[in-house]
Structures are given as structure tokens and as C-alpha cells.
Amino acid sequence: MARIADTFARLRTEGRKAFVSYIMAGDPDRERSLEVLRGLPDAGVDIIELGLPFTDPMADGPTIQAAGQRALAGGMTLESTLGMVRAFREENDETPIVLMGYYNPIYSRGVERFLAEAKEAGVDGLIVVDLPPEEDDELCIPALKTGIDFIRLATPTTDDARLPRVLENTSGFVYYVSITGITGSAVPEPSDVAPEVARIKAATDLPVIVGFGIRDPESARGIAEIADGAVVGSAIVSKLAEGGPIEELLAYVRSLADGVHSG
């Protein structure tokens, strides 16, 4: 679990917050997706969330749903997603990669096999949005035993009675979903988010990263000022879908990173 913990330790030493970016593996195709993946660290990304394409992404908004469909149409699978991680690790052994997706593809492959392959490929953490804490024995506990962080989501509806259960086996960091609803929702207001971040931080020593709805350097900076970092997903995926030069996409990512790092 060293990469995620080491990244946050380094950022604390530098007095900076964490910028976490999301892309869908294989969107719009494997070659372009891998080129973007490899370019993210130089664009200022501290931790990469790599989406695992799935046919029924119930928590995702239309932007990420469409990205998953493009990836699946191009033949992207769990195996080829892990292959992307391996290819990335040939050039970068420092930037953490967190796979984000749903349990069905993992279950279909077999938990033990998947975890062994993910660890070997260089995966550092998992976010599996459809496995609640009551199902920790399914994947969370085995992942932790394998040395892969299991990152949990907290939301505005995670009350004080529920929060301890959510945090019980969480590791790496806590992902606070700032807005109730699907990905790509409205821009969060830092003044609304700050009390929730403080409430979570009072219950855990883990970093709290805030995502959903961040689209520009200003909103990224505002969130970074009240949390340990910010996640941008749908806005990056949307830019990628426009089909412009990858250099322009990475310049946009750099602007977001600069916003977070100045927060």
C-alpha cells in the first residue's frame, strides 16, 4: 500500500493538496487512452483513478456512461485494463493507480485471481461503488490482505450513525461525494462541503478527497482549500470525448492540477 501513503506524505511535506484525476480505461480506444494515462503525472496528477468499463454503471452520469460504452465497443475488458496498468508501470513506478468500477467483472473473474493479477500489474487501490460495508468479506478484506487499499465513498447522506461503519475497513483515503446524485452533477459549494469534510476528518486519520462536479481551476482550488485534495472525472472525460489533441487535454488537466495545488 506504499504508493498512496507515500504520495500523501510527500504532499504534506510540500504543503500541497492532492489532485486526483479519473479517466475510463480504453476510452476512446486503448492507444489514445494509454497515451493520456501516461501523460497525467507530468500534467500534475498525483493519483490516477482508472475506470473499469462495465455494461450497467448505475452510479455514473451520462458522460462516464458514454465513455464506458465507447471502451466496451472497442473491446476493452478487465484483462486489457490490467494490461494498461502494466504498460503504465513500465515507465512510471511512483504514481498510484486506483481502479474504480463495479463488482460484477471482478466477481466473474474470481476475487482471488483478480487481486493477484491487480497487485502484479501495479494497482494500488480499489473503489467499488456497489459493495457496501456489509459486504466487506467479499472483496474489501481480501484486498487489504493482498496489500491493495480499499477506498470507500462517503456522501451527504452518510450520517453520524453510518459513518463509523463506512470507515471501518477503509484505507488509502476517503472519497467524499460532495453532491447527492450521479457523476457529473452540479458544481459543489465549498461552504456546504467544509462542515462535512470536518465531520469525516474528526472520525478518521485518513485523507479526505472531494469529488463530483469540479470542472475548472477555481472550483478545484475552492475544494482543495477545505479538503486534502480534489477529484476531477467527468470534466476530463468530456474533454477527451471532444477528440482534440491530447496536448490540449493535458494542458486542461494541468490547469486543474495547478488549481488544486494552490489550494
What are the residues whose beta carbons fall under 8 Å from the beta carbon of 200, sequence distance 6 or more?
154, 163, 167, 174, 176, 208
Q: Domain 2-261 maps to which CATH number in 3.20.20.70, 3.90.1150.10, 3.90.180.10, 3.40.1350.10? A: 3.20.20.70
Predicted local confidence at residue 205, as pLDDT: 97
Which residues 6+ apart lie within 8 Å of 205 measured at CB?
none
Percent of the chain with pLDDT over 90: 90
pLDDT one digit per residue (tens) for the chain, 263 residues: 599 999 999 999 999 999 999 999 999 999 999 999 999 999 999 999 999 999 988 778 899 999 999 999 999 999 999 999 999 999 999 999 999 999 999 999 999 999 999 999 999 999 999 999 999 999 999 999 999 999 999 999 999 999 999 999 999 999 999 875 545 445 668 888 999 999 999 999 999 999 988 999 999 999 999 999 999 999 999 999 999 999 999 999 999 999 999 97
Largest CA distance in the chain: 48
Return d(Cα 48, Cα 245) in angstroms, integer: 20
Active-site amino acid positions: 49, 60
Q: Where are the beta strands (DSSP E) in 110-213?
A: 125-128, 149-150, 152-154, 174-177, 208-211
Please state whether the predicted TM-score (pTM) of the whole model is above 0.85: yes
Domain residue spans of the chain: 2-261
